[in-house]
Structure 1
Amino acid sequence: MTTIYEAAGGMAVFVRLAEATHQRCLADPLLNHPFSHADNQPDHTERLAAYWAEALGGPPTYTAEWGGSESHVQRLHAGEGEYAVEAGPRFAQCVVDSFDEAGVPDDPEVRRAVAAYVAWAATGPFQAWPDSADDVPDDLTMPHWDWDGPVS
């Protein structure tokens, strides 16, 4: 069975999606602040693209090339409290609004799967630690997603 990553068009599409999403977030008054700090990390969009790609069935580039630990990723997003409750859905909408610009195939199943993953991640795992990064366990593994949702 084809993965979501493959059906979406591979890494080039995820890089364009991360870049387009980043620009939308910079233009959003609520999301601008955290995304403006991504400039301190010049490879932010490549990392984000690799993370999404790996989570959606692509190569393990994020964990292999950047040593990405899910605990580290969660710590970056922890401690946001009520801000995350509003920011998560706004971020997910920025991703969906970037589909056409990024060249995500105009296939309803592909778009549904990517949108469902991003909405789940932005309102679930990325809101799991509202109080402090110190609450994030050290042994989290990257969640993976397929056509039916989270893969255990």
Structure 2
Amino acid sequence: MSTIYEAAGGMEVFVRLAEATHQRCLADPLLNHPFSHADNQPDHTERLAAYWAEALGGPPTYTTAMGGSESHVQRLHAGEGDYAVTASPRFVRCVVESFDEAGVPDDPKVRRAITDYVTWAATGPFQAWGRSKDDVPDDLSLTHWDWDGPIR
């Protein structure tokens, strides 16, 4: 059985998905503020695409070639508290609404797997550090996800 990454169409699809999601988040009044700061990172969508791709069975580009770590990602989202609770479902909606534009296959199993992963990530790990970025451990590893959910 192929990975979610392969079934979705590979890196090109994840880059388009990250770009389309980013644009939808910029257009959302609640999500605009944090996503407008991503413009200070010209490679934001490429990093997001690599992160999603790696988590869903693709190459380890985010953690190896981009020097990314899960601890860094969690620190970016730490301390958001009530904002994260409100914003997370809207972020997931932006991702899902970007599927067609990004060319995610019209396969319910693929779309459900990506939706489940993004929902899990946005409502679980990204809300775990509600108080402070100082609470985030230094050694978190990126959680990988397959057709049955999270794997380590």
Match of 1:121 in 2: 121
In structure 1, C-alpha distance between the alignment counterparts of 2:118 and 2:31, rounded to whole Å: 16
Matched, 1:81 2:69: no
Q: What is aligned with 1:24?
A: 24
Deviation beyond 6 Å, 4+ runs, structure 1: none
TM-aligned CA deviation for residue 68 of structure 1: 0.7
- The whole-number CA distance in structure 1 between the counterparts of 2:131 and 2:44 is 24
Secondary structure of residue in 2 paired with 1:150: strand
In the alignment, the residues of structure 1 paired with residue 65 and residue 88 of structure 2 have an alpha-carbon distance, to the nearest angstrom, of 27
Q: Report how many residues are paired.
A: 152
| Cα offset, 1:66, TM superposition | 1.1
Deviation for aligned residue 1:89 = 1.1
Per-residue CA distance 1:86-126 (angstroms, 9 max, x = gap): 11111011000000000000000000000000000000001
Q: Which amino acid aligns with 2:86?
A: E
Structure 1 unaligned spans of 5+: none
Q: Please give the alpha-carbon distance, in whole angstroms, between the structure 2 residues aligned to 1:85 and 1:21.
A: 19
1:5 match: 5
Looking at structure 1, the residues matched to 61 and 74 of structure 2 have their Cα atoms a distance apart, in angstroms, of 18
Residue in 2 that maps onto 1:106? 106
- Secondary structure, aligned partner of 1:137: coil
Equivalence for 2:150: 150
Tell me, in whole angstroms, the C-alpha distance in 2 between the residues paired with 1:37 and 1:65: 23
**CA distance in 2: counterparts of 1:112 and 1:150, whole angstroms:** 14
After TM superposition, the score normalised by the length of structure 2 is 0.99
1:28-51 Cα deviation digits (max 9, x unpaired): 000000000000000000000000
Q: Which amino acid aligns with 2:102?
A: A
- Runs (5+) with no aligned partner, structure 2: none
Which residue of structure 1 aligns with residue 70 of structure 2?
70
TM-score (norm 1): 0.99
Q: CA RMSD in A?
A: 0.5
Give the fraction of aligned pairs with identical amino acids, expressed as a percent.
Answer: 84
Alignment partner, residue 15 of structure 1: 15
